[in-house]
A and B are shown apart, each in its own frame.
Chain A
Amino acid sequence: DTEVTQTPKHLVMGMTNKKSLKCEQHMGHRAMYWYKQKAKKPPELMFVYSYEKLSINESVPSRFSPECPNSSLLNLHLHALQPEDSALYLCASSSVAYRGQTDTQYFGPGTRLTVL
């Protein structure tokens, strides 16, 4: 089974709201990722967690705050977002192999976020 689940499917929030996106996988993968995708563009990497520790932050604004409570779960906490943050947010996971090299990334269905 190569399933990554994400909730909610859709989220509408105001600029003063605080919300969270959730991602879960049960493939035993030890690397998890957050991507942001705008319409007709490829996914852009935001964060990478490896063995529950943040290993890559692609200079993402602090209004996005990731959290990895355990090896199966990944959250993205949202606060004081801007309308330009509206996008499809994708979670992915992969196994970690020799010397930390990661294998194929499997993506979830995404959360469509609209910021008003």
Chain B
Amino acid sequence: EDQVTQSPEALRLQEGESSSLNCSYTVSGLRGLFWYRQDPGKGPEFLFTLYSAGEEKEKERLKATLTKKESFLHITAPKPEDSATYLCAVRTGFQKLVFGTGTRLLVSP
């Protein structure tokens, strides 16, 4: 059965304190791994798509990396506005996404 596990469940950082979020997956055939950011009561906002092991993508203070079993979302020098829930999802089959339960990030000033 396809599974996606995110850790930690919640993370509290001080402004400027860099850290990483983990997404480990067990799928029969990876057809893409996606990172989204979600603010409370709003729809997920697309961040990155990764397709193959070794791939890396960056956007402002965020950097996503992918191995054969997991993906990391590195947050460098976070700011309070980076506070959100970060969701990882993998595509299984041609159309379905399997989501992890998310990591709730709180960045304090």
- CB distance B95 to A100 under 8 Å? yes
From residue B25, how far is it (CB to closest CB) to chain A in Å?
A: 13
Contact with A along B71-104 (1 / 0, CB 8 A): 0000000000000000101010011110111100
Shortest Cβ-Cβ A-B pairs, 10 listed: A42-B99, A107-B43, A101-B94, A107-B44, A110-B43, A109-B43, A100-B94, A102-B95, A104-B49, A48-B95
- CB distance B97 to A99 under 8 Å? no
- CB distance B96 to A56 under 8 Å? yes
The size bracket of the interface on B is 20 to 34
- CB distance B42 to A45 under 8 Å? no
- CB distance A42 to B87 under 8 Å? yes
Instruction: List A contacts of B43 (CB < 8 A).
Output: 4, 6, 90, 92, 107-110
Chain A interface residues (CB < 8 Å from chain B): 2, 4, 6, 31, 41-43, 45, 48, 50, 55-56, 88, 90, 92, 99-110, 112
Give the number of A-B contacts (CB < 8 Å).
56
- CB distance B94 to A105 under 8 Å? no
Supposing A110-B41, A112-B41 touch, asked if A41 and B101 sit within 8 A by C-beta, the answer is yes
From residue B39, how far is it (CB to closest CB) to chain A in Å?
A: 10
Residue from B32, B95, B99 within 8 A of A50 (CB atoms)? B95
How far, in angstroms, from A105 to B96 measured CA to CA in the complex?
Answer: 10
Residue from B32, B36, B95, B100 within 8 A of A56 (CB atoms)? B95
Residue from B32, B46, B102 within 8 A of A42 (CB atoms)? B102
